Amino acid sequence: MSDGTIESHLEEARRFPPSPAFAAQANAGDPAVYAAAEADPEAWWADQARQLDWMEPWTQVLDWRPPHARWFVGGRLNVSANCLDRHLAGPRRNKAAIIFEGEPGDRRTLTYHELWREVNRAAGALKQLGVGKGDRVTIYLPMVPEAVISMLACARIGAIHSVVFGGFSATSLRERIQDSGSKAVITADGGWRRGAMVPLKQAVDEALAEGVCPTVTAVLVVRRLGALLSVAMDDGRDAWWHEALAEAPRLCPPEPMDAEDGLFILYTSGSTGKPKGVYHTSGGYLTQAQATMRLVFDLKDDDVYWCTADVGWVTGHSYVVYGPLSAGATVLIYEGAPDWPERDRFWELIETHGVSIFYTAPTAIRSFMKWGDQHPAGRDLSSLRLLGSVGEPINPEAWMWYHRQIGGGRCPIVDTWWQTETGAIMVSPLPGLTTTHPGSAGRPFPGIAVDVVDETGAAVPPGEGGLLAIRRPWPAMLRTLWGNDERYRQVYWSKFAAQGLYFAGDGARRDADGNLWLLGRVDDIMLVAGHNISTMEVESALVEHEAVAEAAVIGRAHDVKGQAIAAFVTLKEGRSPSGELIAALRRHVGERLGPICRPDDILFSAELPKTRSGKIMRRLLRDIAEGRALGDVTTLADPSVVAGLKDRYEQHEG
């Protein structure tokens, strides 16, 4: 990149003001919240924190010694008590907290009271295994209720959990166990994915083999597959979850935790190098998770809420577990794949369980677009009233499809920008209050200050692209990187040290109304003949074409222009690749964004390389386009996709 500014070529004029009916019942009703929060952010956050139950009040809202923040100093609370105990006194006691559906179709519902009972037993079992306050516990489970129970059980006794996505390999698991120094591991015999058994316990055994993880003294094993998959049990180390819980005391009182005591570590891969252990604490994190839950998702007591994220991802922490349960929601959890056994599984789940709030990722939305409109059209989706998106910029066409085909034209869409590091939502429309624009994440949440700046940290004018930066500390921010405060300072706070800004690593543009348009990761921005061009905008223009379901765009080295644009394009079902289509797509992008943005190469591909959380890995596409050996592929959902693409790209070049 040159000076950090990014040209923006995508014009998007469609606007969706809130409907009067939605606005009349919305949790966010008063436009004055923005100004009030801006006038006194600490008072605003203190008001949000008062929505939680505290065992001891704080004496100071914020202690900011850059780059380290302490929120609600001196306050004590327990996160599991806020998610469970406080709901038991009132009508939520017998309300469904979790509605679980396994991939094979097995179902289980846990009321708040039942979930509380399970968490008490699990917390007691952990204690009996010698786990205590401040100890780390690695959780490696499928999306089953025990994943939530384990997280809350750790929170109850003050242990710090580190959830590792169940699709990660034994090697990734081992690395994360070692870095966190976990005392215990909670896993299952296995789980289901597209009809196949995923052998989790076996991966744990591999990860722990030959004494390479000496800190681990206990492994708890949930029986999910039972007789279908036998597992080896180490007498001295392993115990069955159901047996350990049966032997544990019925009650385990919640440990009073300092607001700044640790709640979890979550490893995020980053583009290169060793995974970063993003470290979150208790009071500030829960404050922002529950405030955003109420205001961004407009949660009401009769909602059935479904966030499709796995607990191995931060979205699964903040918006499957801590946000919704602290707010008393009914949460649907589904174990398996969206296309199993049929491509309408998600819509079937919405119809069956009467889901009213649905939160998913653009990558999933683009797959649904590719599979065809008949799948959602065949199901009754009338229970839906609000839709959310997270994980990547949502292309305007995907937004419109989501709005029409899933939301029936009546549901507001909240496009929420945030990161593992931010802990909770930072930028989003407030439904009922703000007008939405396809492709824009809207305004910063009240109390959050976001700037768009150039390389020097100076603000760029509205309409121009730059780097997204955050101006003051926020309650759910990461506190450090586990065991590596130096890296914490360097990655997030060194770029704009003079201005004291947090560097998010994303490109963005702010329009004249103050809405933010995310332009993709800064590392992915292309430099073509001296112009910084956003991958997001070229991809969005491609996805506008009626034949295209998904596109990934990269800059590859070019002798004359510095970089040339290469596009990997996935077509909708029933459309076939042709030379004419390539010409038409190049023409379309040229007309839409200007000739400088026209891709030099277009390659059709049935799949794109994605991480487990569905983000396109453009770095690998650059490796392919520049003929390099592939870099680290361990976080890919399906490594065969990228190998196949590499072969095809090389043939196409030759």
**Which residues contact ligand 6R9 (rule: CB under 6 A)?**
268, 314-315, 390-393, 415-420, 441, 504-506, 518, 521, 613
Query: CB of 243: closest distance to ligand 6R9 in angstroms?
Result: 36
Q: Helix or strand or coil: residue 145?
A: helix
Widest distance between CA atoms in the chain? 72
> Which CB sits closer to ligand 6R9, 216 or 296?
296
Query: CB of 411: closest distance to ligand 6R9 in angstroms?
Result: 17
CA–CA distance, 386 with 568 (Å, rounded to integer): 32
Query: CB of 341: closest distance to ligand 6R9 in angstroms?
Result: 28
> Which CB sits closer to ligand 6R9, 266 or 384?
266
DSSP 8-state assignment for residue 454? -
Q: Nearest-CA neighbor of 138 among 79, 218, 247?
A: 218
> Which CB sits closer to ligand 6R9, 523 or 600?
523
Q: Which two tokens stand for residue 554?
A: 């990269």
Query: What Cα–Cα distance (Å) separates residue 359 from each residue in 26, 66, 83, 374, 502?
Result: 18, 34, 20, 21, 27
Query: CB of 468: closest distance to ligand 6R9 in angstroms?
Result: 8
> Which CB sits closer to ligand 6R9, 281 or 534?
534
Helical segments of 480-601, H only: 485-488, 535-544, 579-593
Torsions phi, psi of 550, nearest 5?
-155, 150
Query: CB of 471: closest distance to ligand 6R9 in angstroms?
Result: 17
> Which CB sits closer to ligand 6R9, 325 or 390?
390
Reported as half-sphere exposure (CB side, CA atoms, 13 A), residue 39 has a value of 5
> Which CB sits closer to ligand 6R9, 258 or 415?
415
> Which CB sits closer to ligand 6R9, 158 or 277?
277
> Which CB sits closer to ligand 6R9, 115 or 470?
470
CA–CA distance, 263 with 358 (Å, rounded to integer): 26
CA–CA distance, 484 with 270 (Å, rounded to integer): 15
Query: CB of 315: closest distance to ligand 6R9 in angstroms?
Result: 5
Residue 273 C-alpha from the chain's centroid: 21
Query: CB of 443: closest distance to ligand 6R9 in angstroms?
Result: 13
CA–CA distance, 630 with 620 (Å, rounded to integer): 6
Query: CB of 601: closest distance to ligand 6R9 in angstroms?
Result: 24
Does residue 520 contact residue 393 with C-beta atoms inside 8 Å?
Answer: yes
Query: CB of 505: closest distance to ligand 6R9 in angstroms?
Result: 6
Query: CB of 563: closest distance to ligand 6R9 in angstroms?
Result: 20
> Which CB sits closer to ligand 6R9, 127 or 276?
276
Residue 400 carries which side chain, given as an amino acid letter? M
Query: CB of 338: closest distance to ligand 6R9 in angstroms?
Result: 18
Q: Helix or strand or coil: residue 147?
A: helix
The full 3-state SS of 219-287, as one line of letters, equals EEEECCCHHHCCCCCCCCCEEEHHHHHHHCCCCCCCCCEECCCEEEEEEECCCCCCCEEEEEECHHHHH
> Which CB sits closer to ligand 6R9, 260 or 392?
392
The dihedral sign for the CA sequence 527, 531, 535, 541? negative
CA–CA distance, 527 with 497 (Å, rounded to integer): 25
Query: CB of 614: closest distance to ligand 6R9 in angstroms?
Result: 9
> Which CB sits closer to ligand 6R9, 165 or 241?
165
Q: Nearest-CA neighbor of 286 among 84, 39, 34, 115?
A: 84
DSSP 8-state assignment for residue 83? I
Residue 375 carries which side chain, given as an amino acid letter? H
> Which CB sits closer to ligand 6R9, 95 or 612?
612
> Which CB sits closer to ligand 6R9, 273 or 530?
273
Query: CB of 472: closest distance to ligand 6R9 in angstroms?
Result: 19
Which residues does 294 contact at the CB level (< 8 Å), separation at least 6? 27, 51, 327
Torsions phi, psi of 372, nearest 5?
115, 150
Q: Which two tokens stand for residue 209?
A: 């083999």
Does residue 263 contact residue 83 with C-beta atoms inside 8 Å?
Answer: no
Q: 323-344 burial, b for 16+ CB within 10 Å, e for fewer? A: bbbbbbbbbbbbbbebebeebb
> Which CB sits closer to ligand 6R9, 356 or 613?
613
Q: What angle do CA 531, 537, 541 make, to 5 degrees?
A: 120
Q: Helix or strand or coil: residue 5?
A: coil
Q: What angle do CA 140, 146, 150 make, to 5 degrees?
A: 70
DSSP 8-state assignment for residue 195? T
Query: What Cα–Cα distance (Å) separates residue 618 from each residue in 371, 524, 539, 634, 642?
Result: 23, 7, 12, 15, 11
CA–CA distance, 221 with 240 (Å, rounded to integer): 5
> Which CB sits closer to ligand 6R9, 229 or 633?
633
Query: CB of 428: closest distance to ligand 6R9 in angstroms?
Result: 8
Query: CB of 332: closest distance to ligand 6R9 in angstroms?
Result: 19
> Which CB sits closer to ligand 6R9, 111 or 635?
635
Which residues does 651 contact at the CB level (< 8 Å), separation at least 6? none
Query: CB of 520: closest distance to ligand 6R9 in angstroms?
Result: 7
